[in-house]
Structure formats: structure tokens, C-alpha cells
Amino acid sequence: MEWMLLPLKRYADFKGRSRRKEYWMFALLNGIISLVLVGLMFAGGFSMPSAANPEAMPEAPGPLFWAGVVLLLLWALAIIIPSIAVTVRRLHDRDMSGWWYLGFIALSMIPVVGFIASIAMLVIFCLPGTPGPNRFGEDPKNPTSAEVFA
């Protein structure tokens, strides 16, 4: 649980490096909370039109649905800055500038290129960080591994 909450503790810290574990545990936390809130929306009466009878109008959603919508929007607003920060720090761990993230976002708006850029970004986030210190700081896996007498 500590790894899931670490990006929230480092809310707007765009300096330094983040391990894969920190990034992926935060992504897991976001996925779990989003699934719970979407489940709350479905429990509140959110329904899709039926394929068997597409003309039938679904019922109006209840108050539980709207509570889920509000909570999901509040969660999305609360984590947008920590999400960007942990992504930038993850790129720093690979010895890449945080500006690469903006490049990946821009490339993702181009239909076919965006799919390839998304896969490339996923691969980068799955690769281990550079061992030892790099230009963005000490190795988060082993910060004491720097050569003292070099």
C-alpha cells in the first residue's frame, strides 16, 4: 500500500526518479478506485441500450449513479497532477527528459502513429531504469550504490 500512495505524497514533485514498482502500483490503485466508482454508477442505474431492442429507452439513472459520477470526477481531478509527476519521474528513471511525455501525448493524437506511440510508451515504462545515478538523481533501487572513491 505504501507504493500506491507514494505518488500522492510526492504530489507535484517532478524532480528525481521513480521505480517501476511505484509507477505500476499507482496505476493499479487508479484502476481499482475507478472500477469501484464505475461499479457504483452501474449499481445506481446506469444501463446501456439493449442490442435486441435498440429503440427502448433505458431508465433514468438514480442518485447513486450521480454520486458515482461526482466521485469519479473528483478522483480524476485529484490525481491528474500526481499522475503526470510519476510519469515524468518514471521517464527520468530511464534517463529521458520529462518532455518526452508531451511528445507521446502529441503523437497519440495521430491515428495509426498514436497506437504505435502508446505501445512504445508502455514498453518504456516496463523497462528497468538506468542502474546507478543518472542526470536526474540517484538510483531509487539502490541510492547508496554510487562510487564514493571514484
Q: In the predicted model, what is the mean pLDDT of residues 58-63?
A: 76
Contact 114, 44 (CB under 8 A): no
Distance CA(121)–CA(107), nearest Å, equals 11
Task: Kindly report, residue by residue over 3-27, the tens digit of the pLDDT.
Answer: 888 888 888 889 999 999 999 999 9
Residue 37, pLDDT above cutoff 70:
yes
User: Model pTM?
Assistant: 0.82
Which stretch, 48-52, 122-126, 138-142, has highest mean pLDDT?
122-126
Angle at 14 between CA 122 and CA 75, to 5 degrees: 70
Q: What cell numbers appear for 142 in the block?
A: 539502490
Burial-class residue 57 by CB neighbours within 10 Å (0-12, 13-18, 19+).
Answer: exposed
Cα gap 24→129, rounded to integer Å? 14
> What pLDDT shows up at residue 49?
63
Alpha carbon distances (Å) from 13 to 6, 18, 52, 66 = 11, 11, 51, 33
Amino acid code (one letter) for 99: W
From residue 51, how far is each of 15, 46, 57, 149 by CA, in Å?
Answer: 50, 16, 12, 71
